[in-house]
Amino acid sequence: MTKILIVDDEPTVRALLRDVLEIEGYDIAEASDGESAIAAVADEVPDLLVLDVMMPGMSGIDVLMQLREQHSNNQLPIILLTAASDDDTTWRGWSSGASIYLQKPFDPSHLLDWVERLISGPSGPSPAGPAGDGAGSGPDDEGLLSEFGGLSNE
């Protein structure tokens, strides 16, 4: 069973992520801060991480940088999630090794498309490729492309 670790300090957002991912059959573990996320990964490496940026203490970017010292993008895809929309945070997220960067409030179908794409593709995200079979929900290619469009405009 595909295991996903969700890391967010906001309980309602964690609950939402769990609900969205569990309905598609993913096995979910939770962490409410950066330190326990690092500990959880050290304990058992999940198949994917959904990581909030703005958390008290260790930020999502700190967690990301630390994890990338040991786990490559292919070994551990990481979806960064944040409410910040400033260019600086976005850039720091990308340059620290996020597989994909999604903004809150996120679209659940959009998140599921990315999870599926990142988990099924051993070579990581491929912006031009199809998003796979789409378990129950069709891939939102326009949305996916615009996500990358946002990056290439930087």
Partner 1 sequence: MSVLTVRDMTRERRIERMKSDFIATVSHELKTPITPIKGYSQLLLTRWDRLDQEKRERMLQTMLERSEHLSRLVEDLLIASKVSELETTKLDIRSTEIQLSDIVNDVTAASPELADRLTVNGADTQVFCDRQRAVQCLSNLVNNAKKYSEPGTEILIRSEVPEDGEFATIAVIDQGRGIPAEEVDRVFEQFYRVEDPMTMTTGGTGLGLYISRTLARAMGGDISVESVFGEGSTFELSLPRTQVSEGETA
Residues in contact with partner 1 by CB under 8 A are 10-13, 15-16, 19-20, 23, 32, 54-57, 59, 83-86, 88, 104-109, 136-137
Orientation of helix 87-95 relative to helix 60-68, angle to 10°: 20
**In sequence order, which residues have a C-beta less than 8 Å from that of residue 141 and are 6 or more positions away?**
130, 131
Backbone angles phi, psi at 54, to 5 degrees: -90, 100
3-state secondary structure of 148: helix
Our measurement of the distance from residue 50's CA atom to the centroid of its chain's CA atoms, rounded to an integer in Å, reads 4
Chain CA centroid to CA 110, Å: 11
Least separation, in Å, of the C-beta of 91 and partner 1?
Answer: 13
Look-up of token digits 């998003």: 131
DSSP 3-state of 91 = helix
Token reading at 109: 């179908």
